[in-house]
Amino acid sequence: MQVSLNWLQTHIDLSSYTTPQLSDLLTFAGIEVEGIEVKGLATDKVIVAQIQSFEQHPNADKLSVCQVDDGSGTLRQIVCGAKNFKTGDKVPLALPGAALPGGFEIKEGKLRGIDSNGMMCSGKELGIGEDTGGLWILDADLPIGKPINQIVESDTLLDLEITPNRSDLLSHLGLARELAALTGLPLKGVRDHVKASSTTRTAKADEVTLAATDGCPYYTARVIKGVKVGPSPAWLKSRLESIGLRPINNIVDITNYVMMEMGQSLHAFDLDKLSGGIVVRRANEGEKILALDGQEYALLAEDLIIVDHQRPLAIAGVMGGEETGVIEGTTNILLESAYFTPSGVRRTSRRLSLHSDSSYRFERGMDPKQVQGGSDLAIKLILEIAGGVAEPELRVAGEAPALVSTVELDEVRTHRLLGIPTLTTGDAHDILEKLGLIKQSANAEKSLWTIPSYRLDLHRSVDLVEEVARVIGLDRVPSKFNATFASGDATDRHYDHAMQLRQALVNRGYNEAQTLRLISTPQIEDALGNPLAQAGAAMLKNPLSEDLTALRPSLIPGLLASAALNIRQGASRLRLFEVGRVFLKMPNGMVREEERLAILLSGPVSPSSWHGRVTAAADVFDLRGVVESLPGVSALETKALKDNGTFLMHSELKIGNRVLGWIAQVHPARARQIDARQPVYVVELLLSALRQGSTGPAKFTDLPRFPGMTRDVAFELPADVSHSKVSAFFASIKEPLLIKSELFDVFTDPTGTKLPVDRKSTAWTLTYRNSEKTLETAEVEAAHARILAALQKALPVTIR
């Protein structure tokens, strides 16, 4: 909310506070100062001047050469670019030496060869008014030569963040009241003008009917006849302009002024355009209203509207109608001052995306007790400024709801919650009393308080405790250092495990990515058809854009998108991984959340360097090697799956019966879409499966005391016999001396010259050892021979 310090000072004398002090005071009372702006001119070298004559600049189409009376007796020549003036207009003139806002100093000089001895200014250039598309044309009765800073006073504007619980601060008087409580300074008597002074009578049924008292329990109307609608006086305009409101006409300006002065939102109708009395009711479904902003709004049955006997007049508490507003020529008006319940105003205003200063206040909650005072202040100003005669009585329908009651303060709990040993009950009570609460009774344990009608946020003991804490601040609270022993559970272990995995990958040169959990509908393609996929992706009901429509069912779409971005930036060597949550739509429609690890690999094995500019492109075995190196992975098994449009060499990864995840090469067709020039490989693993593999501390195996012996064997076999079959043979063979079998070469010849294309040659090193004694060559030879015989029997191999 924009607050004018000058305006504020009409209620409380803050001259003993500097702006930074005031800012701190507000900030530490929970009213955050988001901006401070000083308006107005410091220099007195900008004066009122009158344009006596002007002519076209001989060398520039867009410039005029003006002769200006600055009050010195001799005319001053000014070259000017504006067009919005005529002879005789009074304008602000910046004399040479004047410093304008933004550190801009006026100097004598030539413009396109013609002398110019100053500058005529717009309001914006002076930092006073808005840009009006030219010079600021001043009132004709201002004396020539008078400094502008004597006409327009300077002001400090505070941009305040009022928290939603403090609707009582949404006015200058409300804020002054708070500052008085915080500083101990008195409020000036001017606040009395907001007190209800009118006499009231119950509105007749044909004057005001409340047909939806849950939305509007209390409505007042007053008729003023014979007003003269016109521009507001300067003081009123400047008050509104100072906080960024645009003056419209005296009646509308007065209603806005009262709202900003004391927080009561009003609405003035053109009485002659109403037919019959006021009805406050729910809208009919589809009913339409043309609002003051020129837009037509279609209403729902939940919306509260003000209607006459023919048509909707206003969206209650939000905005008036275009057709019944007060305009030039209006002579008779009906002034509405009412209380609308917050939830209704909020719902309507949100749904229509129609937000006004009025709806802002009503949806946060207004003090029903000020409805009459607000009306009275407005009437007083209307009569003063626009003339006319007001009906002697305020027509009242319904009753002001009682929104506050007495609150009991639990003294013991207060002290326990605040933890301030030096705080006495007396200190706390002083604070509450300063804030306008009235103590009704008190004993050692409890005290009972009457709440001011505007403090709609104080209902419970803890609300009063908050007031005490807010006012004394946390400086007086001692800092207590206190901890208890904490036993970790599965969540702690899972966190540590995930960090361990991350660190393992970082150590292998991988960069951790974090992609958005929301993906687009086309991206879902990258996530399906793998062994971990379920029924599909969980779609959002209300996505914000086409890019983010679904919760990711896999980490792969995000990593592919990140790869695409990096490739576009010219990167060719990608080592990305992500650990994070995915969302699986299960066949029963439920969504399961699951933690996964995914890795993406593409490009050269090593970064290029002077040691070797180009290294070989990494392949699926580099990625598999990374997986095999992860903690918790041992005896990795693969099961080839059917390729699909997105993935080649698509394989399920398992440890025993446990599914670990899947590995694949991104289909070259898909890789081309992201401009990848090197093959892209991905793997996605379940964190839960990885965790199962890392069970407890490692168990030590005694180191061999006797040397082993190795024998190599090379054999040919059909190319389609997989490595896993051969390794399974060595793993299963019952030869006690054989302790390790290790593949060290695979040879194929695509040309068929050294080896038929459908054959491959592999070479293994077999290690023999007896843990009890040193081996003898003969027994190794015998064991080796037995193994080779078994191998030839088990598999179609030819020993070389």
**Which residue, 74 or 507, has its beta carbon nearer to another protein?**
507
Tokens at 422, concatenated: 């030096």
Q: Is 693 in the site for another protein (CB under 8 A)?
A: no
**Which residue, 540 or 785, has its beta carbon nearer to another protein?**
540
Sequence length of the chain is 800
Distance between CA 709 and CA 703 in Å, rounded?
A: 16
Q: Is 460 in the site for another protein (CB under 8 A)?
A: yes
Distance between CA 358 and CA 252 in Å, rounded?
A: 13
Q: Which of 128, 138, 292, 518 is the binder for another protein (CB under 8 A)?
A: 518
Distance between CA 712 and CA 763 in Å, rounded?
A: 7
CB 596 within 8 A of CB 471: no
Nearest 5°: CA angle at 601, between 494 and 677?
155
Pick out residues in 24-43 that bind another protein (CB under 8 A): 27-30, 32
Pick out residues in 563-602 that bind another protein (CB under 8 A): 565-566, 569, 571, 573-576, 581, 583, 589, 591, 593
**Which residue, 402 or 486, has its beta carbon nearer to another protein?**
486
Q: Which of 86, 110, 541, 734 is the binder for another protein (CB under 8 A)?
A: 541
**Which residue, 276 or 419, has its beta carbon nearer to another protein?**
419
Q: Is 462 in the site for another protein (CB under 8 A)?
A: yes
Distance between CA 293 and CA 290 in Å, rounded?
A: 8
Q: Is 456 in the site for another protein (CB under 8 A)?
A: no
CB 279 within 8 A of CB 209: yes
Q: Is 611 in the site for another protein (CB under 8 A)?
A: yes
Instruction: Name the E strands within 248-406.
Output: 266-270, 278-282, 288-290, 296-298, 304-307, 312-315, 319-320, 333-339, 389-390, 393-398
Show the site string, 77-106: x = touches another protein by CB under 8 A, - = not.
------------------------------
**Please, what is the minimum distance in Å from the beta carbon of residue 677 to another protein?**
16
CB 544 within 8 A of CB 519: no
| Strand ranges across the sheet with 518-519 | 518-519, 550-551, 538-539
Q: Which of 199, 484, 695, 732 is the binder for another protein (CB under 8 A)?
A: 484
Q: Which of 62, 107, 225, 416 is the binder for another protein (CB under 8 A)?
A: 416
Report phi then psi at 354, rounded to 5: -120, 105
One DSSP character per residue, 422-449 reads T--HHHHHHHHHHTT-EEEEE-SSEEEE
CB 278 within 8 A of CB 190: no
Q: Which of 6, 154, 284, 606 is the binder for another protein (CB under 8 A)?
A: 606
Q: Is 544 in the site for another protein (CB under 8 A)?
A: yes
Distance between CA 395 and CA 379 in Å, rounded?
A: 13
Determine the residue type at 130. E
Q: Is 485 in the site for another protein (CB under 8 A)?
A: yes
Of 244, 204, 247, nearest in space to 223 by CA: 204
**Which residue, 484 or 732, has its beta carbon nearer to another protein?**
484
**Which residue, 590 or 731, has its beta carbon nearer to another protein?**
590
**Please, what is the minimum distance in Å from the beta carbon of residue 634 to another protein?**
21
**Please, what is the minimum distance in Å from the beta carbon of residue 321 to another protein?**
25
**Which residue, 440 or 503, has its beta carbon nearer to another protein?**
503
Q: How many of the chain's residues bind another protein (CB under 8 A)?
A: 92
Tokens at 708, concatenated: 């082993």
Q: Is 417 in the site for another protein (CB under 8 A)?
A: yes
**Please, what is the minimum distance in Å from the beta carbon of residue 460 to another protein?**
7
**Which residue, 406 or 514, has its beta carbon nearer to another protein?**
514
Pick out residues in 340-359 that bind another protein (CB under 8 A): 342-343, 346-347, 350
Tokens 């917050």 locate to 342
Pick out residues in 615-674 that bind another protein (CB under 8 A): none
Q: Which of 389, 539, 616, 640 is the binder for another protein (CB under 8 A)?
A: 539
Q: Which of 300, 548, 733, 790 is the binder for another protein (CB under 8 A)?
A: 548
Q: Is 519 in the site for another protein (CB under 8 A)?
A: no
String of b and e for 75-96 (b: at least 16 CB within 10 Å)? ebebbbebeebeeebbbbbbbe
Q: Is 502 in the site for another protein (CB under 8 A)?
A: yes
Q: DSSP class of residue 252? A: H
- The strand pairing partners of 604, in sequence order, are 617
Nearest 5°: CA angle at 9, between 7 and 13?
175
Q: Which of 508, 658, 711, 786 is the binder for another protein (CB under 8 A)?
A: 508
Q: Which of 96, 452, 529, 543 is the binder for another protein (CB under 8 A)?
A: 543
Q: Which of 55, 139, 489, 702 is the binder for another protein (CB under 8 A)?
A: 489
**Please, what is the minimum distance in Å from the beta carbon of residue 589 to another protein?**
8
Where is 651: in which H helix or E strand?
A: strand 647-655
Pick out residues in 431-450 that bind another protein (CB under 8 A): none
Instruction: Name the E strands within 106-169.
Output: 109-111, 114-116, 119-120, 155-161
**Which residue, 221 or 574, has its beta carbon nearer to another protein?**
574
Q: Which of 510, 681, 715, 730 is the binder for another protein (CB under 8 A)?
A: 510
Q: Is 163 in the site for another protein (CB under 8 A)?
A: yes
**Please, what is the minimum distance in Å from the beta carbon of residue 627 to another protein?**
15
**Which residue, 265 or 341, has its beta carbon nearer to another protein?**
341
Binding span for another protein by CB under 8 A among 177-185, 243-251, 369-377, 608-616: 608-616
String of b and e for 478-500 (b: at least 16 CB within 10 Å)? eeeeeeeeeeeeeeeeeeebbee
